[in-house]
Amino acid sequence: MSLGSNLDLLTVTFYGTAIALILIGLYAALVKRSLIKILIGLSIVDSGINLLLVSIGYLKGGTAPIFSPAVIDKNPAMVDPVPQALVLTAIVIGFAVTAVALALVIRLYRHHKTVNIDEIKNLKW
């Protein structure tokens, strides 16, 4: 399960994609000026993290973690169910946060008539 072992192509792809997503998302969140783009960036970061989390539990050739004798008899190697549960939770949370954030962006736009983050700084110092 550890990051160092069985570095095959699939694993590398998973991890690589996840890290790339995180970095892309961070780039968008830190550099783009539009609130919407920042939010998209944050969502991408979220996706990257979720992907990373799922890949940790992945076991090559493993089956779905369901306790049914038929499946287990055929292939006793299951993928780890915990990361999947975590990811489901994280996705739900990410969804909720994004929804709140979008609502805030709408409010900000109505108030400031812009979504440029540089112009929305009434509160400072």
Partner 1 sequence: MVGSPVQLIAIPLFAAFLIPLLGKAWKELVRITPGVVILYLLYLSVDLLNYTIEHGRVVEVIAGWTPPWGIDLVFSPFSGFLATLMLFMGLLVWIYSYRYQTFEDYDDYEPTLKYYLLLMMMITASVGVVLTGDIFNLFVFIEILGITAYGLTAYYRHRDGAEASFKYLFIGSLSSTFLLLAIMIIYSQLGTLNMADIAVKAHELKPVYKITALVLFLVAFGIEAEMFPLNGWAPDAYSQAPAPVGAAFAGIVVKAGLYTVIRLIYTLFEVGGTYEYLIVMGLITMFFAEFAAFSQTKLKRMLAYSSIGQMGLVLVAFGIGKEEGVYAALFLMFNHAIIKSLLFMSGSYLVYKSKNKYISELNGVGKMMPVTSFLFALGAFAIVGFPPFAGFWSKLAVLTAAADSGMLLIIALILSISLIEVIYYLRVVNRIYFVKRDTDLGITKPTPQAMFSMLVLGAIILIVGFYPDVITGVLHKASATLLDKGSYINDVLSLSQTIN
Partner 2 sequence: MNIIHITLGILLGGAILTYFANKISGVVRDLMFISTIVVAAALFFIKMTPDTVAVFNLGGITLSLGMNHLGLLFSIIILGLAVLAGFYSLPYMKGKDNLGFFYMNYLLSIFGMMGIVMSKDLVSFFIFWEIMTWSSYLIVVYNGNKANKIGIKYILFSALGAYSMLMAIVMVYSQLHSFSIADLSAGFTTMPASYQITIALLLITGFAVKAAMMPLHVWAPDAYSNAPMSYTAMFSGALSKMGVYGLVIVFVTMVSHLPQNFWVRETIAWLGAITAGMATIYAIFQDDAKKLLAYSSVAQLGYIITGVAIGTEISMIAALMLSIVHGMFKANFFMVVGAVERQAGTTDLTVLTGLIRKMPWTFFSALMSAIALAGIPPLVGYVGKWMLYESLISNGNYILVIVIFFASTAGFLYVFKILYSIFLGQEEPEFENVKEAPALMVIPMVIIALLLGFFGAFPGYLLKYIDNALVVMGYPVSQGKWWEMTTLFNAWGNKVSTDLIMYTTITVFVTIAIVLFYRWKNGRYVSTKDISLSGEMPKEDENYSFKLDFYKPFERAISPLLRYKISKYYNEFADGMEAFFDWTRRIYNGNAQTYAIYVITFLVILLLIANNIFTV
Q: Which does 82 bind (CB under 5 to 8 A by kind): partner 2, partner 1, none?
A: partner 1
- Distance, in Å, from the CA atom of 52 to the CA atom of 30, rounded to the nearest integer, reads 21
125 binds partner 2 (CB under 8 A): yes
21 binds partner 2 (CB under 8 A): no
Q: Which residues contact 22 (CB under 8 A, 6 or more apart)?
A: 44, 45, 48, 49, 52
- Distance, in Å, from the CA atom of 83 to the CA atom of 51, rounded to the nearest integer, reads 10
- Site map 77..116 versus partner 2, x via CB under 8 A: ----------------------------------------
Q: Which does 118 bind (CB under 5 to 8 A by kind): partner 2, partner 1, none?
A: partner 2
Interface pick for partner 2 out of 71, 91, 97, 117 (rule CB under 8 A): 117
Q: 113: which DSSP letter?
A: S
Q: What are phi and psi of 113, to 5 degrees?
A: 60, 30
Question: Taking a C-beta distance cutoff of 8 angstroms, is the pair 42, 101 a contact?
Answer: yes
Instruction: Pinpoint the alpha helices (H) of 32-113.
Output: 35-57, 69-74, 81-112
Return residues touching partner 1 (CB under 8 A).
1-3, 22, 29, 35, 38, 42, 45-46, 49, 52-53, 56, 82-83, 86, 89-90, 93, 96-97, 100-101, 104-105, 107-108, 111, 120-123, 125
Provide the residue count of the chain.
125
Write out the residues near partner 2 by the rule CB under 8 A: 26, 29-30, 33, 38, 117-118, 120-125
